[in-house]
Amino acid sequence: MSDSIKDATSKLNGELELKQLQLSSLLEITQAINQNFSAHQLFSIYKFVLRTQLKIRKMALFVADSIWSTPMSYGVPAETEDLDVHKYMIHLKDITFVDGAFPEIFQQFNTIIPVVHKNKPLAFALIGDVSVTDNQLKNDLIPFVQTLTNIIVVAIENKKFAREQIRQEGIKIELELAAQMQNMLIPETLPSDKDLEMHATYIPHQEIGGDYYDCIRINNDELIFCMSDVSGKGIPAALLMSNFQANLHALVRTTHSLVELVHELNSKVIASAKNEKFITLFIGKYNRITRELSFINAGHNPPVLVDAEETMYLKDGTTGLGMLDELVFVHEGRVVLKPNTVFLSYTDGVVETENEEGDPYGMDRLATFCRKHYKAKSMAEYNNALINQLTAFKGKNKFADDVTLMVCRFN
């Protein structure tokens, strides 16, 4: 057999052997992906294929995550993992052969293989000291490594995406449960009889808000109503508000003094929130017989009280609950209500609503509204008119916070 035939046969055998290795490697990695191997296991197989089967003696893989990391490298010094991807490689879209233009640390490699998806770089595989010497084999080997790297990186990206979907779905379920829990805290009906007519509106800014209102009948003559707002939003706020509602309903049955009740509620909030959150609260007690409204405003937006002659702001009270271990002072306000007095309580999402120029709705506009709509036919009509005015005022802006209203006409 002539030397030329021997060379051709040897070359063909080399090509066949490489093809067999490639097919075997692809099969092994595909099976691992289908069996849902972990990222660590996939990288281990990838390393074995490159190092043992393809005889690539130097390799470093840079993968994009929140930052660029090197989940796998071998045959290279430790400082290789500190290569600045953004400075030297981020612009590479195609297979690039290392030349003298690259810094010295790159000279241990001969090829940079990018993995790009929709023009977004996902990874860079740097390989060096490849055992094959034939240019044709090199030209066949390097594209195969690119294919292999693509498969591994995309599979791991898909795993991260699937985990994130599962995490998001878990958060969604938690939010739905918390929203259901929060809706259970709000009373389904409010008093509407010959003595008084109440109506409330609640527009959460997010799926779960931190606003809460309630009305609790104590006896035939007295009732307690409140409006409150938890600092922060989401599940922690909903849980704190749930705890607050339970304590309020338990304490009003046994505590007849508003001052004592607010002290007790402050202690409960401290125990639950551990000084990490606080609650603003307006709480009032109304006596149908004497027509006296006693109240405490614990750091909440002052409700507006309007009768035929004047407009009042109910400010007497104390600091927000949960801010201090012990409330330094608690002032209880009292007012005897004239016939057809209208009371409006609200959360700060109302007065902080901004128009497209960045101006807040503010207390002055709210007071003007209260006076103008004092003789509304119903409290539902009153609330709807205020929501419509806020919506028109904000224009294209979204509500920046929860918007909660509770209005009452004392007949």
Q: What is the pLDDT of residues 312-325, one digit of tens each?
A: 999 999 999 999 99
Are 155 and 233 in a shared domain? no
Which residues are bridge partners to 191 per DSSP? none
Map residue 344 onto helix, strand or coil: strand
Residue 215 resides in a domain? yes
Largest CA distance in the chain: 122
* pLDDT score at 40: 83
What average pLDDT does this structure show over 338-352? 93
Query: For residue 73, is pLDDT > 80?
Result: yes
Based on its alpha-carbon atoms, the radius of gyration of the chain, rounded to whole angstroms, reads: 35
Around 351, how many Cα atoms within 13 Å sit in the side-chain half-sphere? Answer: 18
Residue 181 resides in a domain? no
Are 219 and 149 in a shared domain? no
Residue 179 resides in a domain? no
Instruction: Give me 29's structure tokens.
Output: 């990695």
Handedness of CA 130, 132, 135, 136 (dihedral sign): negative
115-147 per-position pLDDT tens digit:
888 888 899 999 998 866 556 556 677 888 888
Position 45: which residue type?
I
**Of 398, 336, 411, 404, nearest to 199 (Cα)?**
404
Q: In terms of C-beta distances under 8 Å and separation of at least 24 residues, what long-range contacts does 75-80 make, across chains too?
A: 75/51, 75/128, 75/129, 76/108, 76/128, 79/105, 80/105, 80/108
Are 83 and 216 in a shared domain? no
What average pLDDT does this structure show over 289-294? 95
What average pLDDT does this structure show over 398-406? 85
- Find the CATH number of the domain harbouring 87: 3.30.450.40
C-alpha–C-alpha distance, residues 140 and 347, integer Å: 69
Residue 177 resides in a domain? no
Are 200 and 107 in a shared domain? no
Q: Which residue has the higher pLDDT, 411 or 227?
A: 227
Please list the alpha-helical segments (H only) found in 252-313: 258-273
Query: For residue 290, is pLDDT > 90?
Result: yes
Around 178, how many Cα atoms within 13 Å sit in the side-chain half-sphere? Answer: 22
Which of 164, 194, 222 terminates a domain? The answer is 164
Other CB atoms closer than 10 Å to residue 63's CB: what's the count?
A: 24
Position 331: which residue type?
H
What average pLDDT does this structure show over 182-206? 82
- Find the CATH number of the domain harbouring 291: 3.60.40.10
Domain range for 220: 186-410
Are 215 and 135 in a shared domain? no
Average pLDDT, the chain: 85
Residue 287 resides in a domain? yes
C-alpha–C-alpha distance, residues 69 and 328, integer Å: 54
DSSP assigned state of 52: I
Are 378 and 298 in a shared domain? yes
C-alpha–C-alpha distance, residues 162 and 53, integer Å: 31
**Of 226, 248, 230, 251, nearest to 239 (Cα)?**
230
Other CB atoms closer than 10 Å to residue 299's CB: what's the count?
A: 18
* pLDDT score at 38: 81
Q: Which residue has the higher pLDDT, 381 or 243?
A: 381
Which residues are bridge partners to 218 per DSSP? none
Q: What is the pTM of this model?
A: 0.63
Residue 207 resides in a domain? yes
* pLDDT score at 253: 84
What average pLDDT does this structure show over 249-268? 92
Query: For residue 77, is pLDDT > 80?
Result: yes
Q: CB-based contacts of 37: which residues, under 8 Å, 6+ apart?
A: 45
Query: What DSSP line would sit under 301-326, residue for residue?
Result: PPPEEE-SS-EEE---EESPBTSSSS
Are 37 and 140 in a shared domain? yes
Q: Which residue has the higher pLDDT, 30 or 114?
A: 114
* pLDDT score at 132: 63
Are 84 and 223 in a shared domain? no
Q: Which residue has the higher pLDDT, 207 or 140?
A: 140
Report the alpha-carbon angle 223-312-407, nearest 5: 45
15-28 per-position pLDDT tens digit:
555 556 565 666 66
* pLDDT score at 241: 86
* pLDDT score at 137: 53
Are 35 and 139 in a shared domain? yes
Burial (Cβ within 10 Å: 0-12, 13-18, ≥19) of residue 267: middle
Residue 133 resides in a domain? yes
Query: For residue 4, is pLDDT > 60?
Result: no
Which of 191-195, 206-210, 334-338, 378-382 has the weakest average pLDDT? 206-210
Domain count, the chain: 2
Query: What DSSP line would sit under 85-132, residue for residue?
Result: HHHHTTT--S-EE--TTS-GGGGG-SEEEEEEETTEEEEEEEEEEES-
Are 271 and 301 in a shared domain? yes
Are 155 and 10 in a shared domain? yes
CA-to-CA dists, residue 179 to 145, 159, 168, 170, 309, angstroms: 50, 30, 16, 14, 41
Are 330 and 377 in a shared domain? yes
